[in-house]
């Protein structure tokens, strides 16, 4: 039975301070919960609507829930709406533990994506999703980025959270043995840069409105840009970051 205390706790997870206090975040939607189950994410509890549970199309997810032996509860549509943030709830909702923070030490065998004060949840989620696609599994966030476990970030990342290592509040200067590439409007064309011959690198994507912070600009080794062929003032952070990740990792495909 979904109690008032349960509803209060779940609704509180919309805010960062309560996510941090309880060390929990929200995972909502069939695809996201399915991905979390497949990746053995530390799900604490799952809530389903009667209609979702009875739909034969959802049998694979229902079977996974049973296999993982995770506490689950079937709710009426009205009860489900009391815990869902979305306008049209998908009928599946989970509470997941936030992974325990571990000390970060750069590895010279790895490349990294560093996000400097990204504020838009859609941009952060898309960058996580793109990094996962291009095989950059270690994501570094500066101190003032939006919370990576914000529900809108989680939804837009489409399951990337469960396949990435995400480190918060890390100073860029820790990457003393990596080439730090900064995304700028003016710089060397990304078309002339071979990610394979750079040695270990860190791609730095700055804030949507202000770009890379002054503090971090002083640490950039190479400014890079995406050549403009048509009109438009600029690309948004998520699109620019995704294009740069593609170009930097494209050379790695020749090894496969």
Long-range contact set of residues 99-106: C-beta below 8 Å, sequence gap at least 24? 99/42, 99/166, 101/167, 101/168, 104/140, 104/167, 104/170, 104/174, 106/174, 106/175, 106/176, 106/177, 106/178
d(CA 128, CA 185): 22
pLDDT on residue 85: 83
- What is the Cα 148 distance to its own chain's centre? 6
The superfamily CATH assigns to domain 4-97 is Ribosomal protein L30/S12 (3.30.1330.30)
C-alpha distances out from residue 176 to 104, 106, 157, 172, 217, Å? 14, 9, 29, 9, 14
Q: Which token pair is 16?
A: 């960062």
Give percent of the chain with pLDDT exceeding 70: 99
CATH number belonging to the domain at 112-255, selected among 1.20.210.10, 3.40.50.720, 3.30.460.80, 3.40.1280.10:
3.40.1280.10
pLDDT digits (tens, 9 = 90+) for 82-123: 999 887 788 999 999 999 988 999 999 999 999 999 999 999
Domain ranges, ordered by start, for the chain: 4-97, 112-255
C-alpha distances out from residue 237 to 40, 130, 210, Å? 31, 12, 11
pLDDT digits (tens, 9 = 90+) for 61-77: 999 999 999 999 999 98
């Amino acid at each position: 039975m979904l109690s008032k205390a349960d509803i209060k706790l779940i609704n509180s997870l919309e805010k960062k301070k309560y996510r941090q206090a309880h060390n929990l975040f929200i995972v909502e939607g069939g695809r996201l919960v399915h991905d979390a189950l497949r990746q053995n994410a530390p799900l604490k509890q799952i809530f389903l609507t009667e209609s979702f549970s009875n739909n034969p199309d959802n049998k694979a997810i229902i079977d996974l829930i049973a296999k993982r032996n995770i506490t689950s509860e079937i709710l009426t549509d009205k009860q489900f709406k009391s815990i869902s943030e979305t306008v049209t709830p998908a009928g599946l909702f989970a509470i997941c533990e936030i992974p325990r923070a571990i000390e970060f030490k750069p590895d010279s065998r790895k490349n990294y994506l560093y996000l400097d004060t990204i504020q838009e949840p859609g941009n952060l989620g898309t960058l996580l999703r793109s990094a996962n696609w291009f095989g950059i599994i270690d994501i570094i966030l500066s101190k003032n980025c939006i919370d990576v476990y914000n529900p809108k970030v989680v939804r837009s990342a489409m399951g990337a959270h469960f396949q990435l290592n995400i480190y918060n509040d890390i100073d860029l200067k820790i990457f003393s043995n990596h080439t730090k590439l900064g995304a700028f409007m003016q710089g060397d064309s990304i078309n002339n840069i071979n990610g394979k011959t750079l040695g270990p690198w860190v791609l730095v994507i700055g804030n949507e409105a202000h770009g890379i912070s002054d503090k971090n600009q002083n640490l950039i080794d190479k400014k890079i840009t995406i050549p403009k062929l048509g009109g438009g003032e600029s690309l948004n952070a998520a699109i620019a970051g995704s294009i740069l990740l593609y170009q930097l990792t494209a050379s790695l495909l020749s090894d496969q």
